[in-house]
Amino acid sequence: MATTEPEVAPGGRVTFRVRAPNAREVRVQYEGGGDTGNMQKDEDGLWSFMTPPLEPDIYSYTFFVDGLRSIDLNNPLLKYNLLYTDNQVEERGTTALPWEMQDVPHGQLHRHFYKSAATGEDRDFYVYTPPGYSPQWHRYPVLYLLHGISDDASGWTVAGRQNVILDNLIARGAAKPMVVVMPLGYGTMDMVRQGWSRISSAGRWETNLQQFRARLLDEVMPQVEASYRLSNHPQDRAIAGLSMGGAESLFVGLTEPKRFAWIGAFSSGGVGANFLELLPTLDSSANHRLGLLWISCGKNDSLYDSNQALVESLKGKGIHCTWREVPGEHSWRVWRPNLVEFAPLLFH
């Protein structure tokens, strides 16, 4: 891409810059940087801030110009979001990270459009087909991969680099070639149409889980299965997601055992010990049907305690699950590595 800003110096120091001669205070907030940094103005009105050395990764950042949240229009690397679009800066080390595009065969991304019969909304979903995908060859396993609240169906490719990660894993034989489906994760768009106000209203979260399940099972999956050559055995179907999508993966996966045998929940939102009240029929008989129930959270995520509580209550019911604590916050810096670790475990 034609990135001109910010500047990444050897050793990992990043210099952010924004020209705002009339501003009185400009700050930059970047992932992993804790609180915001105060930028310094030079005589030409160019504000700048140099970070300490950062380890190689992709970092989101935003400017605050006299308090106004602003994106860096000199950096074409945008992370699109329905509520919080921001920029990214990529710090590369000597070894390519699993989410850096490498010289390996690439899969393709397909974007489908449809009108939802249930909501009347124009909706879309994305499908990744692995390198060499051939509808004549065999029936592929499929991972349904869900974004978090405020993202849309593009989140896992734009910010999550799903396609790059799978290309790289498949190239080194670490993951099976699979199709990945990334639907829009809202039961209805009301969930985000009025910002955060509606999300926290009573019962909204549970209603969304049920509505999302209906959109996925009744609208997305039939189109996907008609368009791609997929296995329809539950052992060949996985569902995973982050934050809201983590809760959705648990809810759909655990209520639809005849459809999904592999479940991943990354930094799930709205879970905790009482989440299992939404799954009254769940008991240890689920163990023999599940290939994997994988639950992860960043140790510095504010959702850490509720995720840990969920795992404890699952174990209390005798349900096997893998609990992965990883460094980090509620961030794509956690979810990209989650996918790198989770995808190779699937479909064995």
- Positions touching a second copy (CB under 8 A) are 1-4, 18-24, 65-71, 73, 76, 78, 80-85, 101, 103, 106-115, 122, 152, 163, 189, 192-195
Smaller CB separation from a second copy, 122 or 283:
122
CB of 167 to a second copy, least distance (A): 8
CB of 107 to a second copy, least distance (A): 8
Smaller CB separation from a second copy, 121 or 256:
121
CB of 183 to a second copy, least distance (A): 15
CB of 250 to a second copy, least distance (A): 24
Do 141 and 346 touch, CB atoms closer than 8 A? yes
Give Cβ neighbours of residue 335 (< 8 Å, ≥ 6 apart). Answer: 160, 242, 266, 267
CB of 21 to a second copy, least distance (A): 7
Cα radius of gyration (the chain): 21
Read off the tokens for 15. 């210099």
Smaller CB separation from a second copy, 228 or 323:
228
Smaller CB separation from a second copy, 69 or 315:
69
CB of 161 to a second copy, least distance (A): 12
Smaller CB separation from a second copy, 133 or 323:
133
CB of 281 to a second copy, least distance (A): 34
CB of 73 to a second copy, least distance (A): 6
